[in-house]
Amino acid sequence: MTKTALYWLPVAQDWAGVLKDLSQEQDPAALWKKLVQAARLRLDFVQTRQLDRILAAHFGAAPPPALATKPVRLAVIASSTADYLLPSLRVAALRRGVWLQTYTNTYGLYLQELHDPESGLNRFAPSSVLVALDARHVLGHPASSLDRSPAAVLAEDALRRLEDLWGLIRQRFDVPITQQTVLPVFPTLLGGNEHRAGSAAAVLGLVNSGLRARADAAQVDLLAIDVKAAEHGLDAWCDPGLWHRAKQEIHPTAAPLYGELHGRLEAARQGLSSKALVLDLDNTLWGGVIGDDGLDGIVLGQGSAMGEAFLDVQHYALAQAKRGVILAVCSKNDESTARAPFSEHPEMVLKPSHIGAFVANWQDKASNLRDIAARLNIGVDALAFVDDNPFERNIVRRELPEVWVPELPEDPTLYARCLADAGLFEAVRLTDEDFERSRQYQSNQKREALRADTTDLAGYLKSLSMELRWKRFDPLGLARIVQLINKTNQFNLTTRRYTEAEVIQVMNDPRCLGLQFRLLDQFDDNGIIAIVIAVPGEDDAIRLDTWLMSCRVLGRQVEEATLNVVVQEAKRLGARGLIGAYRPSGRNQMVERHYPKLGFHPLAEHEAERTWRLDLDAYAPIETFILTTEADS
Amino acid sequence: MTSDQILTDLTDLLRDVLDIPDLVLSRDTTAADVKGWDSVNHINIVVGAEMRFGVKFRTAELDEIHNVGELVELIARKLNK
């Protein structure tokens, strides 16, 4: 197995059979599903090309109908050969159910194509751009021509050229940009203290470290192949023979991983990364079987290599939880037995309070995973499930193909690295809310417990002492607003995605309403949980272009309280009606009846969109248990 | 591995790379004889062979290959070293 293999994906046992089955499938929707499943196998570059050919034959020109994910038109801006990377980019998107079309510039002509409005690149009109420049091109000079200028000066030149390129791309296309980091292909001149040489190797080292801050400042995401080359060794990523023969800087056998790394970024932008890490217990979080070995028999903690390995797994899970991944437990055990280590074992890193949903029983794990998703108010496809037992993994994959189930190495010392390599939780930006989320899910558990104690719903809601604090869009909330708009899938009436620039436009347009809502209660501050954008509509009406809400606050009358605010603000703008629309996306069925429930009257019904209207003159604010306040800006 | 086995495995590889399920190769076959065996696919074939047979070709060795038989013999020499 090559070092760049996608080793967390299951081996393609009968690849010829898979291809045959694909070739016989007639129904487009079923074929797409099967293609996605095939893409979730451990494919090498030859198999990836085979799958891509079938994909191209059926979905080369257009995505399948009613696709729940957003299609991507990716332009690869390359300075050397790039065509051979395209199948892997397409198949990695397919792995996430995303239809991705590619374009790459004619060899060596990316600047000309950017400048020429009639070029293939400009006609393609990408929705995403990947800048894939080879190391020699980034350096900008033959390696031997560098003089005694300090490496920092030369690196600064190279970084400025990249920034100029990003600026040029942004002038043409207002789309996300991904920059490939630079492979360290140049041999050293001095050795360990290369930075004193001002050599090509030293310059590229500085470019790679400088790229991090520059890309952040320019809102460019990185495809960090330099990190991967450091992990796998340069040989796994680059064969100088292939550079000289074909100007292929990235080794073709690494192409599937290259595509995969890019696919993760596209997935993260669409909110398709996993949201919860669901953990088995026995031989996954500790060594041994708690039901047989007992509290003092399981292997966990300092003192043995295996015990430390399981500590590593727990530390990794906890670190992910702290930046916003929800943790859950799914184990075949008696519940009290399974819970005992969490509260009683002195070496446990994970405590009961870290677990957002704890399911231990003797039912099949697929049913339990459905239950966990429901309890956490997230889709089943947002779960990643980790289990040392190959049997359980296979059953879950068969029953719930949308759940990510990584293959685990047999040695638990490698579990944490495998989870990282699988890239299930790829994120492109972090907000304060991400860091707060795990705490919020624990509070959710406390709320659930309170709900169980309280016999009537009204009494429960009242006891929460909720406050909905709203304000217009402001620069401070921008990052969270853009993130919510682009990753909320379920409670999202129209699933319209906005770039940061578009949100700013709404913010600055006095005819538009851009409202953000924060919910506080006796347990915590839930942060910004709802967004409403309204734009001028026909006649005297204002049109609700976006209404979305975090599922964490479902069932708490936030919708009603939000509407009260929207009506009040719409009236202030002189509107006499509110037009609401529902656009089915395949994932937002839960809000199908949102507007009728709030008292809107039906207007029109089309397959792609249903609309309703609310007359504002007759509107009386809905009574809720939520105190509504306008926040100071 | 005998050179006949190598030829069989190599034929499988070329069928996958070139998408010609019924491709038949003989030792005399050259790139010019096979539809789609262009310079781009030549790289895929070479890299695919390195991957499937677990060998590494030197640049000079690749320059000396003119037909399938020479590639089979090169792989055989490397495997039996």
Of the two residues A459 and A277, the one the predictor is more confident about is A277
pLDDT at A463: 79
Confidence of residue A621 (pLDDT cuts 50, 70, 90): very high
Domain ranges of chain A: 69-269, 276-422, 462-630
Give the three-class secondary structure for A249: coil
Q: Say how far apart CA A474 and CA A630 lie, in whole Å.
A: 13
- The answer for A 518-557 residues in CB contact with B (under 8 A) is none
List the A177-180 sheet strands across, edge first.
A100-104, A72-78, A128-132, A177-180, A221-223
* Residue A471: predicted pLDDT: 94
Residues A396 and A394: their CA atoms lie apart, in Å, by 5
Q: A252 to chain B: which residues are within 8 Å by CB?
A: 43-44, 47
pLDDT > 60? residue A454: no
Which pLDDT does position A432 carry in this prediction? 73
Collect all residues of chain A within an 8 Å Cβ-Cβ radius of residue B43. 84, 242, 245-246, 248, 252
Residue A492 CA to residue B31 CA, distance in Å, equals: 55
Q: Are A49 and B44 a contacting pair at CB < 8 A?
A: yes
Cα–Cα dist A578/A537, whole Å:
9
CB A175, CB A123: distance < 8 Å: no
Mean pLDDT of the region A356-373 = 93
A541-549/A525-536 β-pairing: antiparallel
Spatial separation of the C-alpha atoms in residues A613 and A603, rounded to whole Å: 6
- pLDDT score of A449: 62
CA distances from A372 to A368, A378, A405, A436, A526 (A): 6, 9, 15, 20, 21
Q: Which residues in chain B are contacts of A84 at CB distance < 8 A?
A: 40, 43-44
Contact A242 B47 (CB under 8 A): yes
B13 chain-A contacts, CB cut-off 8 A: 46
* Residue bearing the bigger pLDDT, A214 or A448: A214
The CATH number of the domain covering residues in A462-630: 3.40.630.30
Q: Let me know: does A578 contact A566? Beta carbons within 8 Å.
A: yes
Residue A420 φ then ψ, to 5° = -65, -45
Q: Between helices B39-53 and B3-18, what is the axis angle to 10°?
A: 130
Considering only residues A464 and A387, tell me which one the structure prediction assigns the higher pLDDT: A387
CATH number of B3-79: 1.10.1200.10
Q: What is the pLDDT of residue A456?
A: 64
Cβ-based neighbours of A304, under 8 Å, separated by 6 or more? none
For the segment A463-474, the average pLDDT, to the nearest whole number, is 91
Query: What mean pLDDT is predicted for residues A193-201?
Result: 88
Kindly give, in sequence order, each residue whose CB lies less than 8 Å from that of residue A440, ignoring residues fewer than 6 positions away.
Answer: A524, A526, A527, A552
Beta-carbon-side half-sphere exposure of residue A532 (alpha carbons within 13 Å): 27
SS (HEC) of A489-529: CCCECCCCCCCHHHHHHHHHCCCCEEEEEEEECCCCEEEEE
Q: Looking at domain A276-422, which CATH architecture does it have? A: 3-Layer(aba) Sandwich (3.40)
Cβ pairs A/B, distance under 8 A: 41
A2 has a chain B CB within 8 A of its CB: yes
Q: Which of A9-23, A47-61, A542-556 has the lowest mean pLDDT?
A: A542-556
| Closest approach of A46 to chain B, Cα-based (Å) | 6
- A174: its two tokens: 């207002």
Residue A437 pLDDT > 70: no
CA-based nearest residue in chain B for residue A15: B16
One fold for A69-269 and A462-630: no
* Model pLDDT, residue A633: 59
CB contacts, 8 Å: A2 with chain B? 51
Give me the mean pLDDT over the A579-591 stretch. 90
Tell me the pLDDT band of A549, cut-offs 50, 70 and 90.
very high
Cα of A45 to nearest chain B Cα, Å: 8
Q: Which residues pair with A604 in a beta bridge?
A: A611
- Minimal Cα–Cα distance from A10 to chain B, Å? 19
- B17 Cα to chain A: minimum distance (Å): 6
Residues of B with CB under 8 A from a CB of A: 13, 16-17, 19, 39-40, 43-44, 47-48, 51, 58-59, 62
In this prediction, residue A45 has a pLDDT band, given cuts at 50, 70 and 90, of very high
Partner residue facing A242 (CB), from B19, B43, B51: B43
Instruction: Name the average pLDDT for chain A.
Output: 92
Contact, A493 vs A582, CB < 8 A?
A: yes
Average the pLDDT over each of A358-362, A526-530, A594-598 and give the range with the smallest value: A526-530
CB contact, 8 Å: A104 with chain B? no
State pLDDT tens for residues A46-70. 999 999 999 999 999 999 988 989 9
In whole angstroms, give the CA distance from residue A132 to residue A88: 14
Q: Does the CB of A252 have a partner CB in chain B at under 8 Å? A: yes
Helix (H, G, I), strand (E, B) or coil at A222: strand
- Please give the Cα distance from A589 to A492 (Å, whole number): 9
Q: What is the reported pLDDT for A450?
A: 63
The pLDDT assigned to A1 comes to 74
**Mean pLDDT of all residues in A131-149:** 87
**Per-residue model confidence (pLDDT) at position A448:** 64
Tokens standing for residue A2: 């090559």
Mutation pick from A245, A247, A250, A257 vs chain B, by most beta carbons of B within 10 Å, is A245
A56 touches chain B (CB under 8 A): no
The residue of chain A with its CA nearest to that of B20 is A50
Element (H, E) at A213: helix A200-217
> Which residues of chain B neighbour A80 with C-beta distances below 8 Å?
none
What's the CATH fold of domain A69-269? Rossmann fold (3.40.50)
Cβ–Cβ contact A449 with B under 8 A: no
Residues 68-87 (A) with a CB less than 8 A from some CB of B: 83-84
Q: Which residue has the higher pLDDT, A151 or A561?
A: A561
Give me the phi and psi of A628, to 5 degrees please. -105, 130
Q: CB atoms < 10 A from the CB of A633, how many?
A: 9
Tell me if A248 and B43 make a contact (CB, 8 A cut-off): yes
Q: What is the ipTM of this complex?
A: 0.93
Distance separating alpha carbons of residues A342 and A279, to the nearest angstrom:
13
Whether residue A74 has pLDDT greater than 90: yes
Residue A75 has pLDDT above 80, yes or no: yes
Q: Report domain extents, chain B.
A: 3-79
